[in-house]
Structure 1
Amino acid sequence: MASLGKTLLPARLHERLQVERWHVHEFIRRQAMPLMRRGMKVLDAGSGREPEQYLRQELLATGATLHTCDFCAGPGVDFVADVSALPFEDGSYDIVLSTQVLEHVREPQRVVAEMARVLKPGGHLFLTTPQSSPMHNLPYNFFNFTHLGLRLLFEKAGLSVKQAEPQGGHFTLLAYNLHWTMNLLRRKRMPWILGRPLILACQILFGFVLKAPLIWLDRFDTEVLNTLGWNLAAEKTAAFPAPAPEA
């Protein structure tokens, strides 16, 4: 069944209701893209194939040279490699992006160290990853992270964290979990006459009627102990180069 929001709503409003993506996209737009300009090299580490590269055109529009790297070959993938062993020389990139990748790697510390290694001194890493998320891309879903754990990984790799922001608060997470109900229902084998109306009702209730108020309520969650995930911006300190990953 097609997405009602994608069919009925303006693209920008539909994106805002996709709470699991909106906070990630806005973070890259606000924090990373303003730094990009012609002559700079940007690496999207763990980019996925082109259909998954949601910000590809916006990144290219900055004028920076964009390289994509993913474990699987496909359209839009420039380099096929494991992000724990990036095939680039030290200090190759001005900016490294890693969106919703770290939860899928076996050795997060090694991966963060590799991203730091390929950054130039003073270069920037922008990384997003879940704290609370349903299992996905099985069996390659190994970790969920708090911002405290991410800071430890970054600091050990010689990265100075400049900003850590949550991907929404408790009410955004609640909106996402309610929307997830549709995924559960689609997996159940129910008679068409029951299943289709039930899923449609959930799309309307959880995708529109309840989701917008929950997003609005999120402004009152100022402590943010319960969140979809974290967005971190970090800088590679020239005085503390990233250590080589352990063999």
Structure 2
Amino acid sequence: MGGIMGLITLGHATECNMRNIQAWRPSKFVYRQGRLRASPDPAEVAPGSRLMAGRIAEFYHQRLPTYARGELLDLGCGQVPLFQSYRERVSGVTCIDWQHCRHEHCHLDQEWDLNQPLPVADAQFDTVILSDVLEHVTEPQQLIAEIARVLKPEGHLLLNVPFFYCIHERPHDYYRYTEFALRRFMLQAGLTVEELTPLGGSLEVMADMLAKHLQFIPLVGSLLASCVVWITQALCGLTPLKRFSGKSAEAFPYGYALVARKPAS
């Protein structure tokens, strides 16, 4: 894929930019009441998937203000759903995704097979985002090593992956990773884990499975799934159930989110 010979450096102007920036629209995530949330549009996020999308949105809403800076690489970017969250914090954006992505490619700087060495020179980026991608990569350790290569010293990788979650993006859904696998990937790539947090526990896993099954009931399925998600989000805001979710995530993680840093030397 791609047809690029050798390594290239993708340059940017001093202010944030993206291909066809005027055509960008919110997709998977939207801002409501000043917070990043899962889109309520079923064409963007199915009702049964809003719980996971909401957990992912919460992670990036909290972490991007701290870690997004300089030149940012959005890998497996799709419709670049996080763009609105980091556009005011970075100086440049490079978008790379593969050809079998189901989303439109109007913002891509490069179509590329993420199982192959990245078409980018060493130490080009201050920030790399890998959201909902690693489970779709057949050579995950190689991709993490490539991310470490293209990160500048003191640069950060932010990623999230599902764990107890349905098969998606068929047929390109290959793995589920424990926290131990993720830590091993980072260690072998020479990256330091600064944060590794579960996206939920047993309560979220059970609610997600119920919502995903309910959404296929004719006529009322979407409403029932939306109600399950809303009730679960409300319950998880209560301190006892929040503690239960966090404790149960040790054995039944809904997914994981991670921040890793490339050391100075």
Task: Quickly name the TM-score band, shorter chain normalised.
Answer: 0.7 to 0.9
Matched, 1:203 2:234: no
Q: In 1, Cα distance between the equivalents of 2:68 and 2:246?
A: 31
Which residue of structure 2 aligns with residue 244 of structure 1?
none
Cα deviations by residue, 1:191-215 (Å, 9 ceiling, x for unpaired): xxxx214x25623642444553356
Question: Residue 149 of structure 1 aligns to a residue in which SS?
Answer: helix
Which residue of structure 1 aligns with residue 93 of structure 2?
66
Cα deviations by residue, 1:51-93 (Å, 9 ceiling, x for unpaired): xx22212211224311111003712222211223211001010
Q: In 1, Cα distance between the equivalents of 2:209 and 2:237?
A: 13
Which residue of structure 2 aligns with residue 15 of structure 1?
38
Which residue of structure 1 aligns with residue 17 of structure 2?
none
CA contact (8 A) 1:91 1:121 kept: yes
Change (3 A) 1:222 1:136: closer
CA contact (8 A) 1:36 1:64 kept: no
CA contact (8 A) 1:44 1:96 kept: yes
**TM-score, length of structure 1 as denominator length:** 0.78
Amino acid at match of 2:211: H
Q: In 1, Cα distance between the equivalents of 2:152 and 2:36?
A: 37
Which residue of structure 1 aligns with residue 56 of structure 2?
24
Larger radius of gyration: 1
Q: CA RMSD in A?
A: 2.6
Question: Residue 98 of structure 1 aligns to a residue in which SS?
Answer: strand
Which of 254, 260, 265 aligns to 1:228? It is 254
Which of 131, 145, 161 aligns to 2:163? It is 131
Question: Residue 180 of structure 2 aligns to a residue in which SS?
Answer: helix
Q: In 1, Cα distance between the equivalents of 2:112 and 2:255?
A: 25
Gaps in structure 2 of 5+ consecutive residues: 1-28, 41-49
Change (3 A) 1:141 1:79: same
Q: In 2, Cα distance between the equivalents of 1:213 and 1:145?
A: 27
Amino acid at match of 2:234: A
Which residue of structure 1 aligns with residue 243 of structure 2?
219
Q: In 1, Cα distance between the equivalents of 2:232 and 2:195?
A: 31
Question: Residue 219 of structure 2 aligns to a residue in which SS?
Answer: helix
The 5 Å alignment of 1:137-156 reads 137-156=169-188
Q: In 2, Cα distance between the equivalents of 1:95 and 1:10?
A: 27
CA contact (8 A) 1:174 1:214 kept: no
Which residue of structure 2 aligns with residue 189 of structure 1?
none
Which residue of structure 2 aligns with residue 56 of structure 1?
83
Cα deviations by residue, 1:174-204 (Å, 9 ceiling, x for unpaired): 2211111134x25xxxxxxxx214x256236
Gaps in structure 1 of 5+ consecutive residues: 1-5, 187-194, 240-247
